[in-house]
Amino acid sequence: MMMHNPPHPGEVLRELCLEPLGLSVTAAAEALGVSRKTLSALLNGKAGISPEMAIRLSIAFNTSAESWLNQQSQYELWHAEQHRDKLDVRRLVAA
Protein backbone atom coordinates (compact mmCIF):
# COMPACT_ATOMS: atom_id res chain seq x y z
CA MET A 1 0.00 0.00 0.00
CA MET A 2 1.40 3.37 -0.98
CA MET A 3 1.71 6.14 1.56
CA HIS A 4 -0.39 9.27 1.13
CA ASN A 5 1.82 12.19 0.10
CA PRO A 6 5.08 10.96 1.63
CA PRO A 7 7.59 13.57 2.77
CA HIS A 8 10.68 14.26 0.71
CA PRO A 9 13.59 12.22 2.10
CA GLY A 10 15.48 15.46 2.72
CA GLU A 11 12.76 16.51 5.15
CA VAL A 12 13.08 13.19 6.95
CA LEU A 13 16.85 13.58 7.07
CA ARG A 14 16.58 17.07 8.53
CA GLU A 15 13.90 16.30 11.12
CA LEU A 16 14.91 12.82 12.25
CA CYS A 17 18.68 12.87 11.84
CA LEU A 18 20.22 16.33 11.77
CA GLU A 19 18.00 18.28 14.18
CA PRO A 20 18.07 15.72 17.03
CA LEU A 21 21.87 15.70 16.87
CA GLY A 22 22.06 19.48 16.65
CA LEU A 23 24.00 19.24 13.39
CA SER A 24 24.35 22.18 11.06
CA VAL A 25 24.21 21.65 7.31
CA THR A 26 27.91 22.46 7.12
CA ALA A 27 28.88 19.93 9.82
CA ALA A 28 26.67 17.21 8.36
CA ALA A 29 27.98 17.81 4.82
CA GLU A 30 31.54 17.55 6.07
CA ALA A 31 30.79 14.30 7.91
CA LEU A 32 29.08 12.87 4.83
CA GLY A 33 31.94 13.89 2.56
CA VAL A 34 29.76 16.06 0.31
CA SER A 35 29.56 19.77 -0.34
CA ARG A 36 27.26 21.99 1.68
CA LYS A 37 25.49 22.86 -1.57
CA THR A 38 24.82 19.17 -2.31
CA LEU A 39 23.37 18.50 1.12
CA SER A 40 21.39 21.73 1.13
CA ALA A 41 19.76 20.80 -2.20
CA LEU A 42 18.73 17.45 -0.72
CA LEU A 43 17.40 18.96 2.51
CA ASN A 44 15.39 21.55 0.57
CA GLY A 45 13.81 19.00 -1.76
CA LYS A 46 15.73 20.22 -4.80
CA ALA A 47 17.63 16.95 -5.21
CA GLY A 48 16.88 13.33 -4.50
CA ILE A 49 18.83 10.60 -2.77
CA SER A 50 21.19 8.80 -5.13
CA PRO A 51 22.45 5.29 -4.40
CA GLU A 52 25.81 6.78 -3.34
CA MET A 53 24.15 9.27 -1.00
CA ALA A 54 22.04 6.45 0.42
CA ILE A 55 25.23 4.58 1.27
CA ARG A 56 26.78 7.69 2.82
CA LEU A 57 23.67 8.21 4.96
CA SER A 58 23.57 4.55 5.97
CA ILE A 59 27.16 4.74 7.21
CA ALA A 60 26.73 8.08 8.99
CA PHE A 61 23.44 7.27 10.72
CA ASN A 62 23.73 3.48 11.05
CA THR A 63 20.71 2.87 8.84
CA SER A 64 20.26 0.86 5.66
CA ALA A 65 20.91 2.33 2.24
CA GLU A 66 17.73 0.58 1.10
CA SER A 67 15.60 2.53 3.55
CA TRP A 68 16.80 5.83 2.07
CA LEU A 69 16.28 4.65 -1.50
CA ASN A 70 12.83 3.32 -0.60
CA GLN A 71 11.86 6.73 0.78
CA GLN A 72 13.03 8.39 -2.44
CA SER A 73 11.19 5.85 -4.57
CA GLN A 74 7.94 6.23 -2.61
CA TYR A 75 8.17 10.03 -2.84
CA GLU A 76 8.75 9.98 -6.61
CA LEU A 77 6.11 7.33 -7.29
CA TRP A 78 3.44 9.18 -5.31
CA HIS A 79 4.13 12.37 -7.25
CA ALA A 80 4.12 10.53 -10.58
CA GLU A 81 0.79 8.89 -9.69
CA GLN A 82 -0.75 12.35 -9.33
CA HIS A 83 -0.41 12.72 -13.11
CA ARG A 84 -1.41 9.17 -14.04
CA ASP A 85 -4.55 10.29 -15.91
CA LYS A 86 -2.49 12.53 -18.21
CA LEU A 87 -0.36 9.68 -19.55
CA ASP A 88 -1.14 8.59 -23.09
CA VAL A 89 -0.96 4.83 -22.60
CA ARG A 90 -3.20 2.04 -23.76
CA ARG A 91 -3.59 -1.33 -22.08
CA LEU A 92 -1.95 -4.25 -23.88
CA VAL A 93 -3.80 -7.53 -24.22
CA ALA A 94 -2.97 -10.89 -25.75
CA ALA A 95 -3.95 -11.21 -29.40
Burial 3-38 (b: 16+ CB within 10 A, else e): eeebbbbbbbbbeeebeeeebebeebbeebebeeee
Query: What angle, rounded to 10 degrees, do the helices at 51-61 and 65-81 form?
Result: 130
pLDDT digits (tens, 9 = 90+) for 72-92: 999 999 999 999 999 999 999
> What CA–CA distance (Å, rounded) separates 73 from 90?
24
pLDDT digits (tens, 9 = 90+) for 24-52: 999 999 999 999 999 999 999 999 999 99
Residue 1 has pLDDT above 80, yes or no: no
> What CA–CA distance (Å, rounded) separates 33 from 21?
18
61 three-class SS: helix
Residue 40 Cα distances to 10, 59, 80, angstroms? 9, 19, 24
The pTM of the full predicted model, rounded to 2 decimals, is: 0.90
